[in-house]
A and B are shown apart, each in its own frame.
Chain A
Amino acid sequence: MTITVPTSEPTKTGRSARTSGRAAKLGALALTETRLLTRDWTLLVFAFLFPPFTMLVLAGVFGSDPDDGFAMRRPDDYYVAASTGVSVIALALIGLPVALASYRERGVLRRFEAFGISTARVVAAQAAVTWGLILLAVALVLAVAAPTYGIPAFEHPWQVLLGFVAGSGTLVLLGVAIGLAVPTARAAQAIGLMTFFPLYLLGGGGPPRTVMTSTMRSISDALPSVIPAIVDPWIGIAPVGDHLIALAAWAAVALAAILWLTRRPRS
């Protein structure tokens, strides 16, 4: 058996080789994580079937006539746009924390760490996979909407993109923070569900925010509400800027928590 022990400082070529090696390892981890997530049927059903199903029902119930409760926009347009945000919440706040917490609970993170794969790298792989699945789930919602209610025109396409990136990024960070903070997968699932429903209902996934009382609306404004960050600029209810401050604040809190949780001195 021959082992090569690095004894000198890496050359520039060595550094770039190491960077590509790290990328390849992250890719291998992400591929494995993707395989594992696609075998979790509970998550797949919830993240991929629940949003299009509720879209079909709610858009069907409220119809296509512009309505005062929907800021004089078509309800079916509203629910098609809103359902893309529901997929984001489900994957980021239920799928991701449960997977991470289960890794921590069962010693999988320690096994990786003993192998020289840091927790940060595993987290990065899981976050990347979650983001990929979010894109897939959103595509599925739009694919179901296209032949039924149609895909609403983008009033402010760049703002929608900004809202989607800021909203999904913030929720993925929150999902990572929850997954790293809680001791068990069960706890992660409980917290994920407890955060999913307020964000879904108060974010406008059920009743639109325009019909909420001022108190509920204030609470909704303070939450990391991805749904209005996507819906409002999409169908022209409001500019995305109204939601970016709350999202940025939540992202900062989540990032600080993640840094603290991953950089705690080893006890």
Chain B
Amino acid sequence: MSNVAIEVEDLRRAYGGQPVLRGLSFTVHTGEIFGLAGANGAGKTTTVEILQGLRRRDGGRVEVLGLDPDRDRSRLRPLLGAQLQASALPDRLRVGEALRLFARLADDRVDWRTLAEQWRLGPLLRKPFGTLSGGQRQRLFLALALVNQPRLVFLDELTQGLDPAARQETWRLVEQARDQGATVVLVSHDLDEAERLCDRVAVLADGALLACGRPVDLTGAAGTVTVQFAAPSAVALAGLVDLPGVAEVGYDGEAASVVVAPSAVVPLAAELDRRGLRPADFTVRRASLSDTVVALLTGDHR
């Protein structure tokens, strides 16, 4: 089996003459959780809809599990699972009925009762969809996305509107889906979620690829860390910005915040020591994916 689940090359799409995707290219490997991240309107949902064959592309090449979503739509569909953004089920449909119906529509490849137990939906089987909490709905949607034993699952804004506990649980379930053998494409505007969950992330901005790689590599590519410590005055920090590897020195009246190259942390600490400053709260914070993307977007990438 090929190691590539999705291959996208120079993908283009416009709405009413307004470009939404501008030559997007990326590859998703089999068995990984791949994140499509970016601000609202960056083109994430359009991209996954094209990948599923729900929307046509204007140009470029797309291969999903070796098939073209436009040409081979009917062959591709049984291999995909999907949690679509802003889609629901009828309010009066009970959980058990939804599972049974979708299992039937998927040729009963999976026993819906087993699936219900696996996703802890057993106690909810008789509950109508309209009465489920946000977390319970997402659990059901995940189970439905996997009811046809898909090779590839698209999850679009899965944790939007969930409380922190439900979010954590949903993340665990996504990892469980990956561990069961599915390749997962996770669409999220929440970069912390993408960093926490994804093996690799493609960051989109204005329909183009801003960055793509492992979260740790992307944040490392930013090349800086932030050192924070309490300082008595701005005067005590004078001249620090001239040290090699120091990019920026900030002071808010109580604490200093110094942006430095990782290799400059120890010399900075030594310089503080030389000046008689030995702060007990000296902390080094690696940039988060969110920091990195903001830096990339604002052109503040050092």
Contact = CB atoms under 8 A, between A and B. Distances in A.
B251 interface: no
Given A21-B107, A111-B84, A6 B75 contact: yes
A32 B104 CA distance: 11
A210 to B, nearest CB: 43
Nearest to B15: A267
A36 interface: yes
B46 to A, nearest CB: 11
B54 A36 contact: no
Interface string A78-108: 0000000000000000000000001100111
A29 B101 contact: yes
Interface residues of A, number: 30
Interface centre among A1, A28, A39 (most CB of B within 10 A): A1
B88 A114 contact: no
Nearest to B92: A39
B3 interface: no
Contacts of A117: 105
Contacts of A6: 75
A29 B75 CA distance: 21
Given A3-B149, A39-B92, A108-B88, A265 B82 contact: no
Contact of A32 (B15, B74, B101): B101
B165 interface: no
A107 B150 CA distance: 21
Interface in B91-116: 92-93, 97, 101-102, 104-107
A110 B84 contact: yes
Contacts of B89: 108, 111
A214 B101 CA distance: 52
A186 interface: no
Nearest to B181: A1
B87 interface: yes
Interface in A1-57: 1-3, 5-6, 21, 24-25, 28-29, 32, 35-36, 39-40
A147 interface: no
Interface centre among A32, A35, A36, A114 (most CB of B within 10 A): A114
A6 B79 CA distance: 10
A169 to B, nearest CB: 25
B253 interface: no
Interface string B35-56: 0000000000000000010111
B118 to A, nearest CB: 13
Interface in B146-201: 148-151, 180-182
Contacts of A265: 56
B86 interface: yes
Given A36-B90, A106-B87, A115 B148 contact: yes
Interface centre among B75, B78, B182 (most CB of A within 10 A): B78
A263 interface: no
Given A28-B105, A114-B52, A115-B82, A108 B148 contact: no
A108 B87 contact: yes
Nearest to A40: B92
Nearest to B52: A114
A29 B100 CA distance: 11
A159 to B, nearest CB: 39
A266 B101 contact: no
Contact of B105 (A40, A103, A115): A115
A28 B104 contact: yes
A155 interface: no
A242 interface: no
Nearest to B70: A266
A113 interface: yes
Contact of B78 (A2, A35, A116): A116
A103 B87 CA distance: 9
Nearest to A5: B79
B87 A107 contact: yes
B61 interface: no
A32 B93 contact: yes
A107 to B, nearest CB: 3
A185 to B, nearest CB: 11
Contacts of B92: 36, 39-40
A102 B129 CA distance: 15
A21 B87 CA distance: 26
Contacts of B87: 106-108, 110-111, 114
A86 to B, nearest CB: 25
B84 A114 contact: yes
Contacts of B15: 267
B148 to A, nearest CB: 7
B180 A1 contact: yes
Contact of A266 (B54, B75, B80): B54
Nearest to B148: A115
Given A108-B89, A114-B82, A116-B77, 10 more contacts: A1-B181, A2-B149, A3-B151, A5-B65, A5-B75, A28-B101, A40-B92, A103-B90, A106-B90, A107-B87
Q: 5 smallest A-B Cβ distances: which pairs? A: A107-B87, A116-B77, A28-B104, A114-B82, A1-B181
7 contacts: A28-B104, A32-B101, A35-B97, A102-B90, A110-B54, A111-B84, A116-B74
